[in-house]
Structure formats: C-alpha cells, structure tokens
Amino acid sequence: MQILDKKGRFFGKVNIIDATILLLLVTILVAWAGLIKKTSSIDHAYKRQIVIVELEARDVPVQLYGLIKKGDKSVGNDLGYHGVIEKSEKTEIRKRNFGSKAKGYVDVRLYLRLMVYIEKGIVLYNNTKLKPGVTATFSTPKYAISGKVITIEKKEALCE
C-alpha cells in the first residue's frame, strides 16, 4: 500500500494540503494555549497586595498639574492591576521662557494607592518592577504622568 497516491492523498483518504493546514492549526492552538497558561500563572506565582507608592514627577507643565485630582483612576490595567491617586502636592514651581512666552512647570509628589503583585521582594505594577529610583508611569483617561518611585509602603493583602 502506498503512502501517497496519484492525487496527492495520504493512504488514499486525506489530501496533503489539507493535512498540512490541519497540522499548522493544531500547532498554533497548542502555542496559544501555552501563552494563556503562562500569562495566567502570574496569579499563582505572585500575591496581590495594595501598596502606597510615593512618586516624584519633575518638570510637569502647570496645565497638566491642573488635571491631577485626588481619586483619579488608572487605565490600561494589565492582569487586573489598578490604581488611584490618594494625594498630590506641588513641591516646586518654576517658569521657563520659550521665545516670547513664559511657561510654568512644577515638581509634583503623588501618593498612589496601587494593586500590585508581590513575591520575594519583587513588586510588579503594569509590567514594571517597582522599587525606589525606578521610573514608573500612572495613566488615566485624561493624562499620563511619569516619575521616580521614592517609597513603597505595603498596606493590605487581598483575600483570594
């Protein structure tokens, strides 16, 4: 008995092109299932916890600072991350001249209440490992602000 007949079918039943497409689909499904398992396994490897992060943003335009309000919530939350602004303070105000216009800038200290993943000293928020000195970004529907992490204070563990 021949493996491939004159019409290009395996054992006279399955076309070689159909078999190749089927094999490709199965390979894609297996790879996709592996990715899903890998991304969902973060819940098992890390513990969710609420922390307060002190973030210092420098040279923030005054117009942007006017948008920052207590209670602003983050967007683009990967894997269930979320955050809210607890408090914001101006630490320094400056003016810079650009041509004929002077524009105001402020340094801002934000206190963010964030849900993060923590394990073995690693704190993850929006795929960023948080630790003092690292630059982190907090995004809302109206603005995004980046700054250096000053402190991280653990608040409460979440019941799973």
- Nearest in space to 10 (alpha carbons), one of 1, 157, 153, 50: 1
What is the rounded CA–CA span in Å between residue 75 and residue 157? 22
Q: What global pTM score does this model have? A: 0.64
What is the rounded CA–CA span in Å between residue 145 and residue 54? 13
What's the pLDDT at 160? 43
pLDDT by residue (tens digit) across 115-137? Answer: 888 888 788 887 788 999 999 99
Domain boundaries along the sequence of the chain:
9-40, 46-157
Q: If DSSP codes are grouped into helix, strand and coil, which group holds residue 94?
A: strand
Residues 6+ away with beta carbon under 8 Å from 147: 55, 56, 57, 58, 108, 110, 135, 136
What's the pLDDT at 31? 86
Segments of the chain with pLDDT less than 70: 1, 3-5, 8, 10-12, 36-46, 76-81, 96-102, 156-160
What's the pLDDT at 13? 74
The encoded tokens of residue 118 equal: 């923590």
Residue 59 near residue 107, CB atoms below 8 Å: yes
What is the rounded CA–CA span in Å between residue 44 and residue 23? 32
